[in-house]
A and B are shown apart, each in its own frame.
Chain A
Amino acid sequence: MTDTRPLVPSLWSGFVGIVRRDILLAWKRPGDVLNPLFFFAMVSALFPLALGPSSEQLGSIGPGVIWVAALLAALLSLNSLFVSDFEDGSLDQLLLSPQPLTVLALGKAIGHWMVSGLPLVVISPLVAISFHMPDQSIKVMAVTLFFGTLSLSLLGSIGAALTVGLHRGTALLSLLILPLAMPVLIFGARTVSLSTSDDAVSAGVYFLAAYCMLALTLAPFATAAALRISNE
């Protein structure tokens, strides 16, 4: 029987392969997925515990708190984005593969998002309800977190690539990513706040989507460059 597979794997198969691999790895080690989620939930819970359960106060701080918790959870999970690949040599294989590193970097970021950001978006309504947020806010929260976590995965992959293999790279990673993440946080949290008072949210959502598209198209190039540099 003739082998009809292409001699050189296509871009798409490279991309899908990376995403599949990360999802499978996460499936095998559920802790990697669940830990940041639990962290997100627990950090969100800290604020009502510390500040008292008054309903109006919770409603007003809810958007900000949930967003900060999401950001911190993303930072936590980004630490290990390239570390295990670096340690077992898969990173070298990525650098040597025929597909452009940019496509593979995009795959890593998307895979990371599907495993950390997307689940967070899914459970965010639960946390939002616990903060007594109104229904329309819960929807807006999910939408803003959707674009926001995707942006964070993409931008975070740049920082993770720059700090892979560095001694005590964890704190440095946070320091590098936070300036890039600040616009996402500001617009995300503020947009949800606006929705609690029934103000127009479309501007904020458009901005988040645009920032996300910018990250989607440009971040993989920076990540690929950073991976090459870190791996010399």
Chain B
Amino acid sequence: MMEVLAMGGYGNFVWGAYGLTIIVLAVCIVGGPVRHTKAINDVRRRIRAMEAKS
């Protein structure tokens, strides 16, 4: 276990790189549905406003 973490002395670098990757991918993956729900709400509001005017 310890040697897995140590990665032959390069542990910080390897896990740092993988950690950063996970963070960035997580941001993109979570961001997608979040923006989509926001879009649905925004567009709903816009449609309602458009129809209220007409």
Do A and B touch (CB < 8 Å)?
no
| A interface list, Cβ under 8 A from B | none
Interface residues in chain B, defined as those with a beta carbon under 8 Å from any beta carbon in chain A: none
